[in-house]
Amino acid sequence: MTTQAETIDATPSTAVQPTRRAFMQSAAAVTMGFGGLQSLFARNASATPASEDIGLGFGPLVPDPKGVFDLPEGFNYQVISRVGETMSDGLLVPGLPDAMAAFEGPDGTTVIVRNHELDPSKKNGSPYGDGQKLASRLPRSKFYDAGFGGYHSYGGTTNIVYDTRRGTVEKEFLSLAGTIRNCAGGPTPWGTWITCEETVERASNRWSEDRIYERDHGYNFEVPATATPSLAEPKPIRGMGRFMHEAICVDPSTGIVYQTEDRHDGLVYRFVPNVPGKLHEGGRLQVLSAKRKLSLDTRNWEGRTVAVGERLEVEWLDIDNIESPNDDLRKRGFAKGAARFARGEGMWWGALADDSPASAYFACTSGGRLYKGQIWRYTPSPAEGTADEHREPGILELFIEPNNPGLIDNADNITVAPFGDLIVCEDGSGEDYLVGVTPEGRIYKLGRNAWNNSELAGVCFSPDGTTLFVNVQSVGITLAITGPWESRRTS
């Protein structure tokens, strides 16, 4: 168990506790928690869209003497978790940490729920150690898929209980077992994490070298943001569809869940639950279509189909056979009129300015003329999910498409910061950065992986707004970053 984080001159500042919001209150109120406590900070009001400005953010990056992570002057990081360390439950910290979110925990702590993008083809980073010996600590019923031949499906999630005031990890434990390739997901307003399997592996009738699964994969699972070591019930949310899931976000005013699909020809999905907040009770799965532009290709690979800032009215189309045994959900949806996207990945709910509506922001990692990424914004209809939404449809907008790897090189996980900017993880072909994007589309560098060329993942802020968490995936570490966030003020 990690009890004291490895520190690089870090002294976390005093926590500022946000006001709690009930699930079905207005989106504007809930955005205080899910959009990033914007009222604590002011923003730069004038900018040129999609232009890099070193002076815009927090200043130039300072080389880290330990060669781990470069940050602007005045910022510090701590390594709070490292692959292979022993956790509170006696298991090992799994490898390939990916998306995550932070929730209010007991006694002023923060509970982080973190994905691990593992499957049995990855030989390192199992939580069960050499030969999977530690798996015997868990009852078989707590594995979604225990696997044939002792090859446990050792993806899943871990929870970290972290004290931002002291900079210490209080607990760390496995919180979901037996899933694979848990890539991204998203927080819910009712205090859980939806973890997504980025795979469509099928069950086999017997064990073989290349077929070791006892159950089908490609689902979402719900994990409580608990501070008590325990394992979530491994129950797939079948109503949300079976496909190459990436990320989700939830509109707190309706309970509707939006989903991305990590395929070069993927779709964007909407799940309208029968009962908001109770996803296992079923609902309607739909696909996003641009009105009057059926089967729109938004990728902009060959010529510009959609311009930056262009506003497209949206129509949501029902889709059937959502278990998709032939992995053709996206193909059937596109043939029906759904819009096609270039590897939909990170997704987050929030508002980038006090006077703008809360929206679903999502990254398309290989979109744009140079395949270097796009970020989109979907603003729901005032009547979202009802029979009246056609009167005032939701709006899809291409927020930025830099077509310049020096600005953003393959955007992946994203979050909305307390000061009203998007913070973006790069998963590019060389050095990977944390990148800030202002409400006006101006871009700046916030941090750099100085260790290697691994992708960054899981960017999110603590509920008190003091600490940013991020993973260096291939290295298997989680960082807690503190600094003068309040310096992003009106100039």
pLDDT given at position 33: 37
For residue 381, the cross-strand partners are none
pLDDT tens digit sequence for 411-462: 999 999 999 999 999 999 899 999 999 999 999 999 999 999 999 999 999 9
For 335-361, how does the pLDDT look when each residue is reduced to its tens digit (9 = 90+)? Answer: 999 999 999 999 999 999 877 899 999
pLDDT of residue 210: 53
Q: What is the pTM assigned to this prediction?
A: 0.89
Which residues, 6 or more positions from 373, have their beta carbon under 8 angstroms from its beta carbon? 363, 364, 365, 366, 367, 401, 402, 408, 409, 410, 411
Structure confidence at residue 206 (pLDDT)? 55
Confidence of residue 288 (pLDDT cuts 50, 70, 90): very high
Whether the pLDDT of residue 121 is over 90: the answer is: no
Q: What is the pLDDT of residue 146?
A: 87
Secondary structure (DSSP) of 44-110: -----TT-B-TTTTT-SEEPPTTSSEEEETT-EEEEEEETT-B-TTS-BPPSSEEEEEEEE-GGG-E
d(CA 465, CA 40): 9
Q: By percentage, how much of the chain surpasses pLDDT 70?
A: 86
For the cut 80, the answer to whether the pLDDT of residue 24 exceeds it is no
Residues of the chain with pLDDT > 90, as a percent, come to 78
**Residue 55: pLDDT over 80:** no
Q: How confident is the model at residue 154 (pLDDT cuts 50, 70, 90)?
A: confident
Q: Which candidate, 330, 244, 251, places its Cα nearest to that of 295?
A: 330
Q: Mean pLDDT throughout 313-332?
A: 97
Alpha carbon distance 51, 326 (integer Å):
43
Question: Count of residues for the chain?
Answer: 491
Tell me if 208 sits within 8 A of 175, measured CB to CB. no
Residues 6 or more apart whose CB falls under 8 angstroms from that of 178 comprise 142, 143, 144, 145, 146, 147, 152, 153, 154, 156, 234
**Residue 209 above 70 pLDDT?**
no
Query: In the predicted model, what is the mean pLDDT of the chain?
Result: 88
pLDDT surpassing 80 at residue 476: yes
Across residues 14-39, what is the average pLDDT?
32
Whether residue 41 has pLDDT greater than 60 = no
User: Which helix (DSSP H) or strand (DSSP E) does residue 330 occupy?
Assistant: helix 329-336
State the distance between the two ends of the chain, measured CA to CA, in whole angstroms.
45
pLDDT of residue 135 exceeding 70:
yes
- Which amino acid appears at position 179 of this protein? T
Residues 6+ apart with CB under 8 A from 126: 92, 94, 95, 118, 132, 152, 154
Mean pLDDT check: name the lowest of 50-54, 193-197, 385-389, 467-471: 50-54
Amino acid, res. 354: D
For residue 44, pLDDT over 50 is answered with: no
- Asked if pLDDT for residue 275 goes beyond 70, the answer is yes
CA Rg, the chain, in Å? 21
The pLDDT of residue 2? 35
How far is C-alpha 353 from the geometric centre of its chain's CA atoms? 21
Highest-pLDDT range among 40-44, 46-50, 117-121, 386-390: 386-390
pLDDT at 410: 96
The domain ranges of the chain are 6-15+27-483
Q: Which CATH class is domain 6-15+27-483?
A: mainly beta
Phi/psi at 142 (5° precision): -90, -5
